[in-house]
Copies of this chain bind each other. A is one copy, B any other.
Amino acid sequence: MATHRFTPSRYHLSIGSHEPALRIADGDTVITSTIDAHGYDETETQVIEAGNPMTGPFYVEGAEPGDTLVVTLDKIVPNREYGWARTIVAPNVLEPEYVYHLPPEDNWKVARWRIDAAAGTATLAEPADTMLGALVLPIEPMVGCFGVAPSRGQAISTATSGEFGGNMDYRGFTEGVTACFPVFVAGALFHLGDVHAVQSDGEIGGTGIEISSEVQFSVQLKKDAMVQWPGGEDERYVFTVGNARPLDQAVQHATTEMLRRLQREYRLDAISARILMGQCVEYDVGNIFDPAYTMVCKIPKHLLPYVA
């Protein structure tokens, strides 16, 4: 149960079977840092090109295909004073006819938000001349992109997501939450990055408030406990994640995975699982901007017969 302090010296623009940056054991904790989506670090220096450079990968000793990697997000702390965000509503979430009316020159205007990690606030600094003034929002730092090396030797762009995790941009992946991923390769090869201080459901601006950060996480292996899609657990819910387009298909993956897990992991019989889901599931929209969309299917933990 070691704690590793790891300072990244290189980053990856894909999640794949890259050379491990650090080898850790089941139960270990890692304290490290991430840079922002455009490759800027805590000094606002660009150290690698955009987008979504990953810290890692971390090789988890003993992890094998078929296992489940459980990652607890112990701490996510912004480590610089400013975050940036696009100022659009993305054209893919608007009616096609309406997009005609949007000025294309607005497409890449960037807002700057001052982050006060101690106070837990983000304050709109630029543009300073909007009706929002110096709008203050509470920060809820979250990991936008994380996951494990995919199957078949693939290396997949950190712009998108899949069964292996990736750029899910789900605001629920915040401090204190436990995430899980199916393991496809020896060592799992866990990557993470792209932290947001604040983000709407859906990441409909194409970004959250993009920051670099200090992150602490710990890992746990479940043997013979295959999940097929990412998922997680917070104080109130167990959840499953589907990543695909259209959103309907993301729904299908998340919902099927929940139906499977209720039976396999929570030992419900089939009709109990279906009745429970039919009245009690809730959905969160992860992202509806990236090449694959993300839908989250949740069930309140107090309704489960026991928590595995």
Residues of A within 8 A of B (CB): 13-14, 16, 85-102, 104, 106-107, 109, 111, 124, 127, 130-132, 135, 137, 150-157, 198-202, 204-209, 244-249, 251-253, 255-256, 259, 267-272, 274-285, 288, 293, 303, 305
**Tally of this chain's copies:** 4
Q: Quick check: B89 and A259 within 8 Å, CB to CB?
A: yes
**A150: which B residues are within 8 A, CB to CB?**
157
Q: Quick check: B89 and A277 within 8 Å, CB to CB?
A: yes
Q: Quick check: B155 and A278 within 8 Å, CB to CB?
A: no
**A109: which B residues are within 8 A, CB to CB?**
271
A to B CB contacts below 8 Å, 6 in the list: A94-B255, A95-B253, A156-B156, A200-B278, A200-B281, A245-B245
Which 4 A-B pairs rank lowest in CB-CB distance, beginning with the nearest? Answer: A205-B278, A91-B96, A100-B104, A247-B247
**A245: which B residues are within 8 A, CB to CB?**
244-246, 248-249
Contact of A278 (CB < 8 Å), options: B86, B151, B248: B86
Q: Given contact pairs A131-B269, A132-B276, A201-B282, enumerate 14 new A-B contacts (beta carbons under 8 Å).
A: A14-B154, A87-B271, A87-B275, A89-B255, A94-B255, A96-B252, A130-B275, A135-B275, A135-B303, A150-B157, A154-B155, A200-B277, A247-B251, A251-B288
Q: Quick check: A100 and B107 within 8 Å, CB to CB?
A: yes
User: With A and B bound together, what is the CA distance between A96 and B86 in angstroms?
Assistant: 17
